[in-house]
């Protein structure tokens, strides 16, 4: 074999000096698993080589480690640094978190316009919580003129992604007549969707509407069921109303639930 051919063969075997480092996907996934198990030091040790090599998932989780990991590791500015690296590669979770950091002014200056910019990028990739946050931006007028119609558009898209609080906010619009004619049946439908996704406020409102017959026929058993669900999920109002319904039935558990409740 000629000398030039030998050099070419060697290059094919080891790669050129300019080739990007090879990322070990198995180690990245193990690093993610260890992060979720709160074994932060071990997670970091596995993720940082891949993050430095340019893997966006590893970069995002290194950002999380600096943002939400152990107290000793917490560094919001470095979290932003790593989130940005992943976000600029189109990693939706990192784009969303860039929006959060700008909206709160954590690790970087507060900038609501920049926050919206990153939420929009994540939303374009179908990120449910980015869609929800854009709904909040337009409903409350964070850096924009409030537009309830646009807010509802984002809430509907977020609800399609399974974001319960988007359904709850939509229901409130129709329950209160916020930028739309008051429509209790439509409100009930959205409260039900949010309640089925586990939103305690929506569960309480379903119980109330069923108990009072607002937009639907009175159904005390269904009302009691939803009050109980709300109470289990931490709603003090739900616990109080559930306790009152049990008291009316002379159920001995009534005092327990009322004690957990709020008038």
- Do the beta carbons of residue 61 and residue 83 sit within 8 Å? no
DSSP 34-79: HHHTT-HHHHHHHHHHHHHTT-HHHHHHHHHHHHHS-GGG--HHHH
Helix axes 184-196, 148-160, angle to 10 degrees: 40
Q: What is the pLDDT of residues 191-201, one digit of tens each?
A: 999 999 999 99
State yes or no: pLDDT of 3 exceeds 70: no
Band the pLDDT of 9: cuts 50, 70, 90: very low
Confidence at residue 25, expressed as pLDDT on a 0 to 100 scale: 85
- Average pLDDT over the chain reads 91
Q: How many CB atoms lie within 10 A of CB 255?
A: 12
198 DSSP 8-state letter: T
Q: What is the pLDDT of residues 211-234, one digit of tens each?
A: 999 999 999 999 999 999 999 999
Structural contact between residues 94 and 83, judged by C-beta atoms closer than 8 angstroms: yes
CA dihedral 66, 67, 70, 75 (to 10 degrees): 50
Calculate mean pLDDT across residues 49-63: 97
pLDDT at 90 over 80: yes
Residue 13 has pLDDT above 90, yes or no: no
Q: Which long-range contacts (CB under 8 A, 24 or more apart) does 115-119 make?
A: 115/142, 115/143, 116/142, 116/143, 116/144, 118/87, 119/95
pLDDT at 21: 60
**Mean pLDDT along residues 101-121:** 97
Closest listed residue to residue 165, CA positions, set 120, 206, 130, 132: 132
Q: Is 209 helix (H, G, I), strand (E, B) or coil?
A: helix
Token pair belonging to 100? 């959060």
- Distance from the Cα of residue 177 to its chain's centroid: 26
Looking at residue 71, its pLDDT comes to: 84
Q: H helices within 125-219, ranges in order? A: 128-140, 148-160, 164-176, 184-196, 200-212
The reply to whether the predicted model has a pTM over 0.85 is yes
Return the pLDDT at 111: 97
What is the predicted pLDDT for the residue at 262? 74
Greater confidence (126 vs 22) lies with: 126
Cβ atoms within 10 Å of 41's Cβ, excluding its own? 12
Whether residue 14 has pLDDT greater than 70? no
CA distances from 161 to 21, 121, 132, 156 (A): 35, 16, 10, 9
């Amino acid at each position: 074999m000629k000398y030039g051919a030998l050099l070419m063969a060697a290059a094919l075997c080891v790669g050129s000096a300019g080739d990007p480092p090879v990322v070990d996907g198995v180690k990245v996934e193990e690093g993610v698993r260890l992060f979720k198990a709160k074994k932060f030091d071990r997670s970091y040790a596995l993720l940082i080589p891949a993050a430095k090599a340019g893997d966006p998932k590893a970069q995002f989780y290194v950002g999380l480690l600096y943002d939400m990991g152990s107290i000793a590791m917490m560094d919001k500015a470095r979290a932003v640094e790593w989130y940005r690296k992943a976000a600029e590669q189109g990693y939706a979770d990192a784009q969303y978190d860039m929006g959060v950091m700008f909206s709160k002014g954590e690790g970087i200056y507060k900038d609501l316009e920049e926050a919206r910019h990153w939420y929009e990028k994540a939303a374009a990739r179908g990120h449910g919580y980015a869609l929800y946050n854009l709904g909040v931006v337009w409903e409350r007028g964070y850096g924009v003129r409030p537009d309830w119609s646009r807010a509802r558009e984002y809430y509907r898209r977020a609800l399609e992604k399974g974001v319960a609080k988007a359904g709850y906010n939509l229901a409130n619009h129709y329950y209160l007549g916020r930028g739309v004619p008051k429509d209790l049946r439509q409100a009930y439908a959205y409260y039900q969707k949010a309640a089925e996704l586990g939103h305690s406020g929506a569960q309480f409102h379903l119980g109330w509407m069923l108990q009072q017959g607002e937009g639907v026929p009175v159904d005390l058993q269904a009302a009691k069921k939803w009050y109980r669900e709300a109470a289990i999920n931490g709603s003090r109002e739900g616990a109080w109303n559930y306790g009152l319904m049990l008291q009316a039935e002379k159920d001995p558990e009534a005092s327990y639930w009322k004690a957990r409740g709020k008038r």
